[in-house]
Chains A and B, each alone.
Chain A
Amino acid sequence: MRNTQSTRLLFELSQPGRRAALLPPLDEQITAAAEPLPETQAADGPPPLPELAEGDVIRHFTNLSTLNMSVDTHFYPLGSCTMKYNPKRNERLAALPGLADVHPLQDDDSVQGLLRLLYELQQMLAEISGLPAVSLQPAAGAHGELTALMVAHAYYAQRGEDRRVVLTADSAHGTNPASAAMAGFETRAVKSSPEGLIDVEDLRSKLDDQVAVFMLTNPNTLGLFDHQICEITQAVHDAGALVYLDGANMNAIMGLSRPGDFGADMMHYNPHKTFSGPHGGGGPGAGPICVRDFLEPFLPAPTIARDADQDHYRLEYDRPESIGRVRTFFGNTGVLLRAYFYIRSYGGDGLRQVSEDAVLGANYLLSKVKHILDVPHGDRCMHEFVASASKLKKEQGISAMDLAKRILDYGFHAPTVYFPLVVDEAVMIEPTETESKETLDAFAEALFRVTGESGDLVHEAPHSTPISRPNDVAAARKPIMKWTPKDS
């Protein structure tokens, strides 16, 4: 019952003269005031956009939507992505006209309600992280990393220290070294130990007066909390360097452990993960950062200040030591507000329960999956764990990719595969706290069944999806990145 007629490309559905949006007629006095554009500037006609009726557009996109898996429709155990339920109340509230229809350059007096919510959010993020100074400006996690590294750069410049190196864990997400390079640092990788944690000896051997920042993820990308974390951060501080925490995995530790307490000096949050902002097909997110008080002067402008005596909030632009601005206007307010609603809905004890349930769910699933796949890094984990299909591949010819593709046929989104790079044939599973025991049982059961299936069935999977095994090589060799009339 799929409607393939309406999911042809917009450009193929287009019919000359058809249209959806109609504008009111222009008033005569307005037309009389108009001056024609200079000939050198005026286009011969509008761009060749498709011509469609509103009904075409709605049916097209509604049918397209049904080709996606989503959190609303499916279990999405995508490791490192924290695909938790996105509360509907957040959407309703963020769409209130007094929040959604506010111009970013309105004067402070006209946005007191909004500034108050955002100011309170800053305080909440500071409390959860244990790091007192907050910038809500960065637009995404990677953007937060970059901003914090620029803050570190400015801090050392002010101290007259020439530190040019950023250390990253070899298991780290690719954004860590990419952000460091953009902030003007050289990067060096620190090895992982056989247990999947930071190799402290390797770290110590690389710490010298050139190192500005050590970027780490804790709990790390294997879902393990580094048991030497305080020793590690102490060693970094002893070398005069700063510790940056990639906050991607904050869903595991809210109310249980605070980065500021275990020695992080700077961190970013991914509120679209931890605080339930919907992922929107890959964005938008936000990447607020929290830092220690001595780094506060370097945060981007503006920040939100509160004049306590008047109970008045204002955007503070006068920040002479600031690194400057990292994006236009205030920040991804819509995403930040959803984080605020989420934190208000749970409170402190509730957030702790969220993290406990996330850890419980992951350990429960681990206790089942370890009978199906190798789990190289232990019997217990935080909010996620990494299994390996290495043995399965050798013995049955079923790779991590095959597993990922076949599990789609069972009505589950695939886990993350081939990340982190330190595990061969990695299958990274993060169930989150918003999945029931029954769902976790069903997923483990499906995984078990796949491992018993014939090679052919699995290699050609998925079988039930709209398409199967797209040709990535052809796509990259001769890239087709837009529709052109001759393709029709």
Chain B
Amino acid sequence: MKPEDLRYAESHEWVHVSEQDGQQVATVGISAFAIEQLNDLVYMDLPEAGRTLKAGEEFGEVESVKAVSPLYSPVSGEIVEVNSQLPDNLEWLNEDPYQKGWILKVRMSGDEGLDQLLDHAAYQKQCAESG
């Protein structure tokens, strides 16, 4: 996945929606910008597959040595897969945030939340303003 092709939440999660077996599945991760801001991640807490999320709901958190950042789901639906190896390989987030660093796959229950997402250009602008 290329960063240009993804959509982004203001809270820095990225989303890629694809069609699988006739259903919309969103792959969710966190942006390279956020990972750089968080600086030396040390821990990640992830949910289990099967849980249902609402758009905007907190589903986990990442920690650096002295900060904790919650992760929010950009879409609504059921978690169908979790990148369970990621917490033990946090360097993947730095090396490859858009492929190996994916976090969740969510079978979407609708379009809720999608209209809130930014395209790459708008997200870049947001990052530039906050940075």
Do A and B touch (CB < 8 Å)? yes
Q: Does B49 contact A (CB under 8 A)?
A: no
Q: Does B1 contact A (CB under 8 A)?
A: no
Separation of A477 and B40 alpha carbons in the complex (Å): 9
Nearest neighbor of A477 in chain B, beta-carbon distance: B42
A-chain residues with CB within 8 Å of residue B43 when the two chains form the complex: 476-477
Q: Does A34 contact B (CB under 8 A)?
A: no
Classify chain A: how many residues form its interface, as a range. Answer: under 10
Distance to closest chain A CB from B34 (angstroms) = 17
Q: Does A473 contact B (CB under 8 A)?
A: yes
Q: Does B128 contact A (CB under 8 A)?
A: no
Q: Does A472 contact B (CB under 8 A)?
A: yes
- Which residues between 430 and 488 of chain A lie within 8 Å of chain B, taking CB atoms? 472-473, 476-477
Distance to closest chain B CB from A82 (angstroms) = 24
Separation of A242 and B63 alpha carbons in the complex (Å): 36
Separation of A370 and B65 alpha carbons in the complex (Å): 31
Q: What string of 1s and 0s marks CB contacts (under 8 Å) between B84-99 and chain A? A: 0000001000000000
Nearest neighbor of B40 in chain A, beta-carbon distance: A473
Nearest neighbor of B91 in chain A, beta-carbon distance: A477
- Which residues between 45 and 69 of chain B lie within 8 Å of chain A, taking CB atoms? 63-65
Nearest neighbor of A472 in chain B, beta-carbon distance: B65
Nearest neighbor of A418 in chain B, beta-carbon distance: B66
Distance to closest chain A CB from B44 (angstroms) = 10
A-chain residues with CB within 8 Å of residue B90 when the two chains form the complex: 477
Overall SS of chain B's interface: strand
Separation of A476 and B38 alpha carbons in the complex (Å): 14
B-chain residues with CB within 8 Å of residue A477 when the two chains form the complex: 42-43, 90
B-chain residues with CB within 8 Å of residue A476 when the two chains form the complex: 42-43, 63, 65
Separation of A477 and B42 alpha carbons in the complex (Å): 4
A-chain residues with CB within 8 Å of residue B64 when the two chains form the complex: 473
Separation of A473 and B43 alpha carbons in the complex (Å): 10
Separation of A472 and B42 alpha carbons in the complex (Å): 9
Separation of A473 and B63 alpha carbons in the complex (Å): 10
Distance to closest chain A CB from B87 (angstroms) = 10
B-chain residues with CB within 8 Å of residue A473 when the two chains form the complex: 40, 42, 64-65
Distance to closest chain A CB from B125 (angstroms) = 25
Nearest neighbor of A473 in chain B, beta-carbon distance: B40
Separation of A238 and B127 alpha carbons in the complex (Å): 44
A-chain residues with CB within 8 Å of residue B40 when the two chains form the complex: 473
B-chain residues with CB within 8 Å of residue A472 when the two chains form the complex: 65
Separation of A473 and B64 alpha carbons in the complex (Å): 8
Distance to closest chain A CB from B107 (angstroms) = 32
Q: What string of 1s and 0s marks CB contacts (under 8 Å) between B65-81 and chain A? A: 10000000000000000
Separation of A476 and B40 alpha carbons in the complex (Å): 10
Separation of A477 and B62 alpha carbons in the complex (Å): 12
A-chain residues with CB within 8 Å of residue B42 when the two chains form the complex: 473, 476-477
Separation of A476 and B42 alpha carbons in the complex (Å): 6
Separation of A477 and B44 alpha carbons in the complex (Å): 10
Separation of A472 and B41 alpha carbons in the complex (Å): 11
Separation of A477 and B63 alpha carbons in the complex (Å): 10
Separation of A472 and B39 alpha carbons in the complex (Å): 12
- Which residues between 391 and 433 of chain A lie within 8 Å of chain B, taking CB atoms? none
Separation of A289 and B40 alpha carbons in the complex (Å): 41
Distance to closest chain A CB from B88 (angstroms) = 9
Distance to closest chain B CB from A234 (angstroms) = 37
Distance to closest chain B CB from A252 (angstroms) = 28
Separation of A472 and B64 alpha carbons in the complex (Å): 10
Separation of A41 and B79 alpha carbons in the complex (Å): 46
Separation of A476 and B43 alpha carbons in the complex (Å): 8
A-chain residues with CB within 8 Å of residue B63 when the two chains form the complex: 476
Nearest neighbor of A474 in chain B, beta-carbon distance: B42
Q: What string of 1s and 0s marks CB contacts (under 8 Å) between B10-23 and chain A? A: 00000000000000
> When A and B form their complex, which 9 residue pairs have the shortest distance between CB atoms, in order from nearest?
A476-B42, A473-B40, A477-B42, A472-B65, A476-B65, A473-B65, A473-B42, A476-B43, A477-B90
Instruction: Pull 12 A–B residue pairs with CB atoms less than 8 Å apart, ordered by A.
Output: A472-B65, A473-B40, A473-B42, A473-B64, A473-B65, A476-B42, A476-B43, A476-B63, A476-B65, A477-B42, A477-B43, A477-B90
What 4 new A-B contacts, CB under 8 Å, besides A476-B63, A477-B90?
A472-B65, A473-B42, A473-B65, A476-B65
